[in-house]
């Protein structure tokens, strides 16, 4: 026998069934939409990836062409810029590669290379034999020899025409210094500093380079992209210039421009660099 309670229960059951049906239908519909959206997203990302990969190949090809062009053009750009100049590269035993790259850049620009290699930090004065030899030449006791006096003597001997160079000879004879390419009648007309000891630029070599700087003689701290010793930044901090990528085409141009007095600043790839290279290169 049917009663009101039965009809109410039947109606409730019908509405519950409808609700469940709507919910299930909505879930199935949403799943289809999500699946469709996921497919579209994947397709879009794949298209973007393919476009980026194509752009990367084009960019790599363009960069390779620009690099080749720069390497071909640099010899003509710097040709003769350092003609008639003797540039001294001041190095240490641990930065031979950087010194070699700087020497190549000097020769490329038509300059002459003089190489001064200190065997130890602080102008090698930590070696008792070197201190004793220099003290004897200066008429001092070994205990009273200081780096400032030796630095001043070397700067004078290397930048004064016809100087006898007694301190230089004493340091070479005692093993504190190796000197090549500086003829007795030559003077230093520019300085490139690469000397690094225990991973730190030698402050006394920086000061020595600064002491030989004037209105016609310029100094530059040098690093390469492969060996960042910090000489470029140290030189800039001391009021000179720096080039941190002398092993690149742009770096060789910057290097020649600084040593010829055409530009000043910190050039290269490091943070805080003035620019990648001096611009404009040619001033009308």
Q: What is the residue-wise DSSP string for 88-156?
A: EEEE-TT-HHHHHHHHHHHHHTT-EEEEEEESSTGGGTTSHHHHHHHHHHHT--GGG--HHHHHHHHHH
**The pLDDT value given to residue 111:** 97
Distance between CA atoms of 251 and 223, rounded to whole angstroms? 10
Secondary structure (3-state) at 279: coil
Give the Cα separation of 18 and 240 in Å (integer): 85
Q: What is the pLDDT of residue 268?
A: 94
Nearest-CA neighbor of 106 among 281, 276, 255, 5?
Answer: 255
Q: What is the pLDDT of residue 17?
A: 61
> Which residue(s) pair with 222 in the sheet?
243
pLDDT tens track of the chain, all 284 residues?
A: 445 555 566 655 665 666 666 666 666 555 555 677 778 777 777 777 777 787 777 777 777 777 787 788 899 999 999 999 999 999 999 999 999 999 999 999 999 999 999 999 999 999 999 999 999 888 887 777 889 999 999 999 999 888 889 999 999 999 999 999 998 888 999 999 999 999 999 999 999 999 999 999 999 999 999 888 899 999 999 999 999 999 999 999 999 999 999 999 999 988 889 899 999 888 76
Q: Are the beta carbons of 150 and 123 closer than 8 angstroms?
A: yes
pLDDT at 5: 59
CA distance 266 to 142: 38
- Residue 230 contacts by C-beta under 8 Å, 6 or more apart in sequence? 196, 199, 200, 201, 223
Beta bridge partner(s), residue 201: 196
Q: Which H or E run contains 267? A: strand 266-267
Distance CA 256, CA 275 (A): 15
What is the reported pLDDT for 56?
75
The stretches of 160-248 forming alpha helices (DSSP H) are 166-173, 203-211, 231-237
CB atoms within 10 A of CB 86: 19
The partner residues of 87 in beta bridges, in order of sequence, read 113, 190
For the chain, what percentages of helix, strand and coil (3-state, to nearest 5) are there?
Answer: 55, 15, 35
Answer for the pair 92, 102: CB distance below 8 angstroms, yes or no: no
Predicted local confidence at residue 1, as pLDDT: 44
* Bridge partner residues of 190 (DSSP): 87, 218
């Amino acid at each position: 026998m049917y009663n009101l309670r039965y009809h109410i229960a039947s109606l409730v059951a019908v509405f519950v069934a409808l609700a469940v049906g709507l919910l299930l239908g909505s879930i199935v519909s949403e799943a289809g939409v999500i699946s469709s959206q996921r497919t579209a997203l994947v397709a879009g990302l794949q298209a973007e990836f393919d476009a980026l990969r194509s752009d990367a190949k084009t960019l790599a090809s363009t960069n390779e062409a620009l690099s080749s062009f720069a390497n071909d053009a640099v010899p003509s750009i710097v040709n003769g810029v350092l003609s008639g100049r003797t540039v001294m590269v001041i190095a240490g035993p641990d930065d031979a590669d950087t010194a070699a790259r700087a020497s190549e850049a000097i020769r490329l620009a038509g300059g002459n290379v003089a190489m001064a290699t200190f065997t130890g930090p602080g102008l090698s004065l930590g070696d008792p034999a070197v201190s004793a030899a220099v003290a004897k030449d200066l008429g001092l006791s070994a205990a009273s020899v200081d780096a400032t006096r030796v630095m001043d003597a070397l700067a004078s001997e290397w930048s004064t025409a016809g100087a006898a160079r007694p301190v230089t000879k004493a340091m070479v004879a005692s093993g504190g210094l190796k000197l090549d390419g500086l003829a007795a009648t030559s003077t230093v007309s520019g300085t490139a500093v690469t000397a690094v000891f225990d991973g730190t630029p030698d402050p006394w070599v920086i000061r020595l380079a600064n002491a030989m700087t004037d209105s016609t003689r310029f100094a530059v701290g040098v690093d390469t992209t492969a060996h960042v010793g910090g000489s470029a930044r140290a030189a800039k901090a001391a009021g000179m210039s720096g080039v941190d990528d002398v092993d690149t085409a742009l770096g060789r141009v910057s290097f020649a421009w600084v040593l010829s007095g055409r530009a000043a600043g910190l050039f290269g790839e490091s943070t805080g660099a003035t620019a990648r290279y001096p611009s404009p290169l040619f001033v009308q």
